[in-house]
Chain A
Amino acid sequence: MGNVETLIQLPGGRIGGVDKRILYRIPYNVLTNSPNNFVDIPANSSSPFTSMTISGEGPCEIASLSAERDSACLVFLQIQNGETQSGLMNRAVHIDTIFGNGQRQYWLPETLYLDELRTMIASFTDLQGGANRAALNMGGCRYLQLQVDPYMEEIRSRLENRQYMTTPYWYTLDNGDVTIPAGTTVQETITVGQRCHFQLCNMTAVATSMAFDINIVDISRGESIIDAPGNSNRAISAGLCIGNANYPFKFHESRLIQVGQKLLVTLTDRSGFDNRVHLTLGGKAIENMMWR
């Protein structure tokens, strides 16, 4: 997006000084609102929706996700824009598939714009059967004192306008997670919503064992995402094409899946035990039509 360079470069590589505008920009971390920086999650149930709000000093561009949690849980993220709420995922996803940690952040495929009227909302669902806690941290930068500087205001308006066209988005299986009985094959679907195209950028999963094979087929086109259109449509080992939030598997070419299309996900266990799989496809939701 718009950029402010720290140094004013002069011809010949000389440095003319430090651009004052750099003071209008600071790194910023958006957390669940105090005093709920750690959100308590009751055993086997969901936490209340918790807001992640910033004040009116200036908008924030979010680019990375990291979290600390006591034990495994699902997370569901929504964005509230004025009166409108919209999800950033089709269902709750496993926290370890989209939130990294302080050492290895999960970098969003698309930055997210927040201001005082545009708030993130998170809720969690415990998976371990005990009292659980989670603390989210969304890292980015904040633009301050924009009104006094037309140049900075231009950056802000470009950031904001972009959010009406595209946001980060995640898809998991239509039924959430799936348990593959030992040594067998199951088929699940992922249905892309009716409002936005989905640009698939990365793939992450948490599973009892990564010893399973996977194939994902775009049903409308009959093409495998895993094995490429012209090939024999074969499944490959999950360990070769799926990462986690710290090290997501990134596609060399992202793939656009149109509104309303279905993906058929075929999973075959190789571990010899029942295998519970939380699969998350990460990418961008791209508006199908202008709604503003």
Chain B
Amino acid sequence: MTTRLHVDWTRCDGHGSCVELLPELLVHDEWGFPLSRTGEPDAVVPRQLDDLARRAVSACPLQALRLRS
């Protein structure tokens, strides 16, 4: 059961807490928005990063992140 990190692009404003917490999954693009390293829009969250991903979802000031299975 794969968990994916979904960005609600209508809310995201490039604050960047998520990129800091999940550097294995995300980088900044040149405008500050999170870019998935794997190239697919909703990055797969490996088991060991699950906890950090939850923290990232909670930390986003605009509630732009969600975990989907």
B partners with A? no
